[in-house]
Amino acid sequence: SLDTMLALIRGTTTTKGLQIKAVLDTMVYAKGIKVSSQDMAALNMRRRRLCPNLNYTIRPNKSGNS
């Protein structure tokens, strides 16, 4: 269940003491919004080798502009 999943996420800590806060987002979002190829290319995104479509990091652009 979602409660169990959130509890597992909340129970995560690192060896340096980082604790995770997780809440369920119940907002209803518009469907069908498309991101342009140009906007996707502008992202500073690094995909991971394991499941690259699901496992990636997006960092701010160096210029600070998006």
Q: What is the pTM of this model?
A: 0.44
- Residue 8 CB contacts under 8 Å (≥ 6 apart), including other chains: none
**Number of separate helices (H) and strands (E) present in the chain:** 2, 2
Say what the pLDDT of residue 44 is.
Answer: 93
Say what the pLDDT of residue 18 is.
Answer: 87
Say what the pLDDT of residue 51 is.
Answer: 87
Tokens at residue 43, please? 């992202």
Say what the pLDDT of residue 63 is.
Answer: 67
pLDDT in tens, the chain (66 residues): 888 889 888 888 889 988 888 888 999 999 999 999 999 999 999 999 888 888 889 999 886 555
E strand map for the chain: 44-47, 56-59
Tokens at residue 53, please? 């479509």
